[in-house]
Structure 1
Amino acid sequence: MTDAGTSTAVRPDLLALTPETLAALANRGLVKRATKELDAGTVPALTTDPDTTVRARFADGTTAALPPGTGLDEGDCSCVAPGVCRHLIALVLAHQRVAAADPGSAPAAFTDWSPGGTGDAALAEAVGARPLAAARRTFERGYAAVVHRPSPDHPEPRVELPTCAVRFPVPGEIAYALTDAAAALRGEVVALAVWAFQAADAMDTEERSVPVQVGGRPTAPATTLPALDAAVGLADELLAEGVAHVGPVHGGALARAGAALTTASLHWPAGALAELTDQLTAYADRNAHYRPESVAALLTELHARRRAAAHPGVLGTREAGDTPLRRVRLVSLGCRVHGTAQSLVSEVYFAHPGAGTVLVLRKTWTAPEGKELSAHQLATRRVLATPLGSLATASLVSESVRRTPSRALTVARGRLGTTTITPVGAAWTELPDPLLVRDLTALTAGWDGRPPRLIRPRVEAEAVHVVALSQVESVGYDPAEQRLEAVVRDAAGTRALVTSEYRPECPGALDALADALEGGATHISGSLHRSGGGVRIDPLAVLTPAGTVVPDLAAGDGSTALAAVGRRPSEPLTAALDEAMSAMAAVPHSGLRHLNVPARARIDEAATALSRTGLTRAATLLRAFTETLDDGAMPNQEALAVRSGAWLAAQLHLLVSSELRSSGAGSGA
């Protein structure tokens, strides 16, 4: 029992520690044990020193103390347990119960505060000299971050760093900061998060979520980035010769250039070059992964990032290659499978509630010689010593994962024993905003003003969320497009269109999706996109009263008869832009040196269609490109440069116009 005659002055920092925060600082088991002991009457005697140090004496003689201005890990306990022990947890919980029993106590009011108010001296005391020195080196190089200021609905200030998140659950006390980074990196990333808040505080904006560029020197112009210049030069060679005419030597050169970009910490161009190399390999192998439109977009992205290199965040400069995460809890949002019968790629998507992000675990599966694979067969294949089908509907707690700047997950070899996997249950319903979306209109409003996708950070699963459903209005199948379409409403009543196309590698997916939507679906996970003024959901999984359904891994041969859906009329502006981009994609496929007459004629027809729909600027740029092709002679380097510049100008305009069109921001750029 608590001593009746002792003083127990209230410590606001201890009152702010919720059970969830305590579990993150220690572990859930210790919190449950300490709570159970208090409920059973094993209550320590509490006293408070003049400096507000809270002390607890337990019946077995164990003593514990928590000084002010320090975290739990700096507390003192006479027991032999390392780190944060159950006695320190019990001290906090007992202090909270004493404060709650005071008739004059009141619920804590929301505190609008910024960790950026922490001075260097206090920061050094909180994180230590060595971590602070490491953080200073990162600061000198510069780094990007997203700062989330507190609000009544989300009272914890939070920072998204390139490879981890940091949150501050106790107002005015950075010592209690929580991060998903490994313990050895905690002090460094806390300092980086504090400096990110300082940068946001210096900005003239009232926005709750603020992207910032912290420290560093101004990014050098593209002409002084030799690795990027070399990569763009190889891209120009590919545009000139065409995918159909370059050999394996060019693919090897692209791979080496990508490695040089990674070494130079130019992570986003490196990612684009890696995808471009994969496209060349797919074409050489006659693999269905090859898409001319993807090649065209990747070549354009490399040039766009070079042109915008001086702007923060465009190159991914100086972001850590990857970061080991401490004990982290992840919630699976389903699985996407794509590829061919000979080679399939599975992507399991995990929500990270503590960071408010989605991470991706990717694995490639190759069929034995002479055999074929289907997505359903992968359901029994093991990842993290667990069948893929189980992993795609599970919660994962691990001390073995690492996170890349693009939010991909990797697993440390030989440490699977530090990973536990349990069924996902109702974990989707407990996800925080914006992982769990109840109002699609509010979510998509936050997308306005973003830079074009061509120069945004290359973040995996950028648009993946869980949407709470209030109604499934209709489910139908369009046989002409081989596409399932369903009209649903979110919890706020906003309509959205769920669309999923038939893929031969996942023959049972559409049947399973239709059954799940018609079986009382309450939530759906997937990639969200604005389309035609509304929201389109590309589904990953569906939560029903019977459990979680992952359509891509479902059994079946696709023979179930589905109700037909009426054909949706083609939207003229979107159709014209799509055809123009498809026509222009023939250029890097065949090459500027080898573009044939039918390909030129198709571009002319696309320009005419653009004019008819009012996209005159796009039409003018396409015609300007075709005019550079009038001379039938083999082009010299000067002529190639002119053609390349005209193609890039048109392609940039088309890609950005298409993005603006799909977002509802306008009819063109």
Structure 2
Amino acid sequence: MIRHDLLALSDDGLAQLANVGLVKRGRRDVAEGKAPTITVSDDGSVQADFADGTVTKLAPDRSLIDATCTCPASGVCRHRVTLVLAYQAQQSAGGGADVETAASTSTNAATSAGQDAGTEAGQDAGTATGSSTSTAPDQDARKNTSGTTSPAARAAWDPAELDADAFTASLSAPLRTELTRLRAARLDVRLEQGAIPAAHLPMATVRFLVPHVLAYARCDCVAGGNCVHVALAIQAFKQARGATETRLEPIDSGTGANDTQVGNQLDAKTEARLDALRVAGDALLARLLDVGLSSGPDAFAQPLADARAAATTLGAVQYLLALDGLSQQIDAYAARSARHNEMLALQYATELYARTRTTDPRVALGIGESLETAMSRTRLVSLGARLRGDAGQVDASVMLADLDTGAVMVLERRITQARDTKLPSTAVLAQRQFSSGMSLSAAAHGQILTSSGKRRVDGRLVLGSQRGGLTQTMPYDGNAALRAPLMVANVDELIETLSARPPAFVRRHDATGDVRVFEIEEVLGQALAEGGQCWHGAVQLTNEGGVLRLQRRYDAVAPQALEALTRALSGQYGKLRRIVGPVYVESDNLICDPWLIMADRLLVPDLEAVPAGAASNSLPHHENAAATPLEQALQLLAGAVHVGRRTGPNNAGVRHHARTVAESLNEAGYRQGADYLSNWSTSSNTSDSGPNGPASFGNVACFIQAIR
């Protein structure tokens, strides 16, 4: 009997079940004639007998993770991996089957600095083990791990062909209840078609490693598979009908619960809770417009608590995240912290109004979403780091990408000290503990292997203890082969994609900030602006992918960052090959804030130890363009949120400025925005029903931010 499931497993799939190092070692053993003796029974059982006496058995109709082995490892060890590779080699050599899988060059295996292939005894393959640091990985990890000629590449297939009803029925009652809740949340799912299809859910990624075999549907949550995320992934492929994106619709999960709501309709109980949240949110917004964010935390303690209670009762995860963000902005201003951002505070204030009034409140509010999901063994590579803050506290962020799934996460840490203490040097900050047993520099320049991670719905990563080998760091050369949409080939296409999204005040929160990776053909130029406080650059992408503009503002916690960027674009670190960072669209240009640069070596500008030299002082200075009518309107609204009625429409000077801005908006063709701004500015009434209350403010704030 032929085991077609084993023949269909690619190196990429095996690496997800085990790790790259074990696949590499297994390939090497088979190529060197050290393969085990393979015995296949009539019922499909496969047994591998190794020269050292180890025996590995895989029963029929079971996946590789269910195989038994006499070695000490409790997970998918090298013997289990080698069983598959040896079986594939035997079938290929004997002509016993049309081997569907190509012994392909796994993208992940070819580019990752994987775990030591020799580690097996005492290793639980479901965890990443070892010390917190490691020597440089074997260079073979970047080469073709197959070592064989490749048969025909596997054909693409569609998981929509799988039996979703049978899989759902196999789940336990609690899991079916959880599935009902998540389906009702109407989650947005991004899909990858191909030989190994994948579904990217907000809280997890599911990959289908073997065609038509549900046992090999692997999820990066802690369950690893046979979970609600697999059911959601199958549903997404069925609904998508070949498209790359879809929004899940509520369907009956067989729980007997009322889960038959259609589209964005809400039942009476949920509607009542939404009304309560709308009232609480409007009260908080009215308080902001009355006394201003600058009044301090005590002024907002009660309305914030009321809004949180209403959002918690409704299960509105996205609204809770907005409340958290607003609270942090209030605290940051009270502490006179550089983390305070008036425009971000304006966005959170707008969310209080907008999220309870959309045509699809389930999605905008995040009703029924999971706040965080425990992850299985995960390998994350750095996409760079950023420092923000002041002498009192520094917020350090490291952006990370999962090589197996392409998911992006951000790991954060606040470093505090006495406010009157001198700001630490870059070298000192780089060596500060960032996570358990891990320095900031190690995380920002390396890769993290963890089995204790939790991914929050907004993309933030939480790591557990490093004890017991659950988390370790390893070196990374920055050359991982990343897939779309993280890797960008064309600037115009990305601008179109980003511009087509709903406004930020109703989108799901994403702490990763639209980070992207760009391959660079050449540097077009660089300059300084705002008295040397803002650096600008421009580069041409490879393959005529367009022009990417770069921008970075000076920050006292990373004073050398502008100098590092200047030197990098001047070629002092070798030819510029790759830039990584969050992006945004401004005036039809794509702007990137560089967190990581690849030249002859990996550079993290915020952690680069370079002196403040003359290079940046010699750059040409770039004149700033005058503020547009939209930008003037945003500044006016942000001021209203910041200080309340003191700069509100009952202030004569502000009323005059508001009329001027409204006229500018009208002349620029934004007549609706001009009307909204005029309505808001014509009264000093800050009650809920007045034209200067939450409704009139919310209308103009939504309009201006939506079209900017």
Which TM-score bucket, shorter chain as reference?
0.7 to 0.9
Q: Which shows bigger deviation, 397-406 or 211-220?
A: 211-220
> How much has 1:511 moved relative to structure 2?
0.3
Which runs of structure 2 are paired with 1:498-577 in the superposition (5 Å)? Answer: 498-519=550-571, 520-545=575-600, 547-555=601-609, 558-562=612-616, 563-565=618-620, 567=622, 570=625, 575-577=628-630
User: What is the match of residue 94 of structure 1?
Assistant: 86
Which runs of structure 2 are paired with 1:331-350 in the superposition (5 Å)? Answer: 331-350=381-400
User: What is the match of residue 537 of structure 2?
Assistant: 486
Which of 142, 146, 150 aligns to 2:193? It is 150
> How much has 1:176 moved relative to structure 2?
1.2
**Alignment CA distance shift 1:416-1:300 (3 Å):** farther
**Deviation digits for residues 523-579 of structure 1 (CA, Å, limit 9, x no counterpart):** 11101222222311111111111x211112234564534243463673x7x722111
> How much has 1:642 moved relative to structure 2?
5.0
2: distance between equivalents of 1:244 and 1:82?
Answer: 56
**Alignment CA distance shift 1:54-1:445 (3 Å):** farther
2: distance between equivalents of 1:270 and 1:122?
Answer: 33
Q: Kindly indicate whether the alpha-carbon contact (under 8 Å) linking 1:117 and 1:198 is maintained by their aligned counterparts in 2.
A: no
**Deviation digits for residues 222-252 of structure 1 (CA, Å, limit 9, x no counterpart):** 6533345323322222223323446614235
Q: Kindly indicate whether the alpha-carbon contact (under 8 Å) linking 1:507 and 1:556 is maintained by their aligned counterparts in 2.
A: no
User: What is the match of residue 163 of structure 2?
Assistant: 118
Q: Kindly indicate whether the alpha-carbon contact (under 8 Å) linking 1:331 and 1:350 is maintained by their aligned counterparts in 2.
A: yes
User: What is the match of residue 491 of structure 2?
Assistant: 440
Q: Kindly indicate whether the alpha-carbon contact (under 8 Å) linking 2:498 and 2:585 is maintained by their aligned counterparts in 1.
A: no
Q: Kindly indicate whether the alpha-carbon contact (under 8 Å) linking 1:279 and 1:289 is maintained by their aligned counterparts in 2.
A: yes
2: distance between equivalents of 1:240 and 1:408?
Answer: 33
Instruction: Please state if 1:370 is matched with 2:425.
Output: no
Instruction: Please state if 1:390 is matched with 2:430.
Output: no
Instruction: Please state if 1:224 is matched with 2:268.
Output: no
Which runs of structure 2 are paired with 1:233-382 in the superposition (5 Å)? Answer: 233-245=283-295, 248-251=298-301, 253-255=303-305, 257-258=307-308, 261-262=311-312, 264-308=314-358, 310-368=360-418, 370-374=420-424, 376=426, 377-382=428-433
User: What is the match of residue 638 of structure 2?
Assistant: 585
* Amino acid aligned to 2:640: V
Which runs of structure 2 are paired with 1:29-178 in the superposition (5 Å)? Answer: 29-59=21-51, 63-77=55-69, 81-101=73-93, 106-115=151-160, 117-122=162-167, 129=172, 132-133=175-176, 135-136=178-179, 138-139=181-182, 142=185, 144-151=187-194, 155-178=195-218
* Amino acid aligned to 2:273: T
Which of 694, 699, 705 aligns to 1:644? It is 694
> How much has 1:381 moved relative to structure 2?
0.9
Other structure's SS at 2:12 match? helix
5+ unaligned residues in a row in structure 2: which ranges? 100-150, 252-258
Instruction: Please state if 1:497 is matched with 2:549.
Output: yes
2: distance between equivalents of 1:195 and 1:261?
Answer: 25
Which of 667, 670, 679 aligns to 1:615? It is 670
Q: Kindly indicate whether the alpha-carbon contact (under 8 Å) linking 1:400 and 1:416 is maintained by their aligned counterparts in 2.
A: no
**Alignment CA distance shift 1:45-1:131 (3 Å):** farther
**Deviation digits for residues 599-648 of structure 1 (CA, Å, limit 9, x no counterpart):** 2222122112222323222222212222234xxxxx47476465432222
TM-score normalised by L of structure 2: 0.82
2: distance between equivalents of 1:140 and 1:612?
Answer: 46
Q: Kindly indicate whether the alpha-carbon contact (under 8 Å) linking 1:238 and 1:246 is maintained by their aligned counterparts in 2.
A: no
5+ unaligned residues in a row in structure 1: which ranges? 1-8, 630-634, 659-669
* Amino acid aligned to 1:514: T
Instruction: Please state if 1:193 is matched with 2:230.
Output: yes
* Amino acid aligned to 2:243: E
Q: Which shows bigger deviation, 430-439 or 240-249?
A: 240-249
**Deviation digits for residues 124-166 of structure 1 (CA, Å, limit 9, x no counterpart):** 56xx647754654545754524141413xxx322122332211
2: distance between equivalents of 1:489 and 1:211?
Answer: 35
Other structure's SS at 2:243 match? coil
> How much has 1:61 moved relative to structure 2?
6.0
Q: CA RMSD in A?
A: 3.0
1: distance between equivalents of 2:654 and 2:505?
Answer: 25
Q: Kindly indicate whether the alpha-carbon contact (under 8 Å) linking 2:236 and 2:247 is maintained by their aligned counterparts in 1.
A: no
User: What is the match of residue 431 of structure 1?
Assistant: 482
Q: How many residues align?
A: 632
User: What is the match of residue 3 of structure 1?
Assistant: none
**Alignment CA distance shift 1:108-1:259 (3 Å):** same
Q: Kindly indicate whether the alpha-carbon contact (under 8 Å) linking 2:184 and 2:249 is maintained by their aligned counterparts in 1.
A: no
* Amino acid aligned to 1:400: S
> How much has 1:506 moved relative to structure 2?
1.9
**Alignment CA distance shift 1:647-1:131 (3 Å):** closer
TM-score normalised by L of structure 1: 0.86
* Amino acid aligned to 1:84: V
Instruction: Please state if 1:25 is matched with 2:17.
Output: yes
Q: Kindly indicate whether the alpha-carbon contact (under 8 Å) linking 2:630 and 2:704 is maintained by their aligned counterparts in 1.
A: yes
Q: Kindly indicate whether the alpha-carbon contact (under 8 Å) linking 1:149 and 1:157 is maintained by their aligned counterparts in 2.
A: yes
Q: Kindly indicate whether the alpha-carbon contact (under 8 Å) linking 1:166 and 1:179 is maintained by their aligned counterparts in 2.
A: yes
Q: Kindly indicate whether the alpha-carbon contact (under 8 Å) linking 1:255 and 1:274 is maintained by their aligned counterparts in 2.
A: no
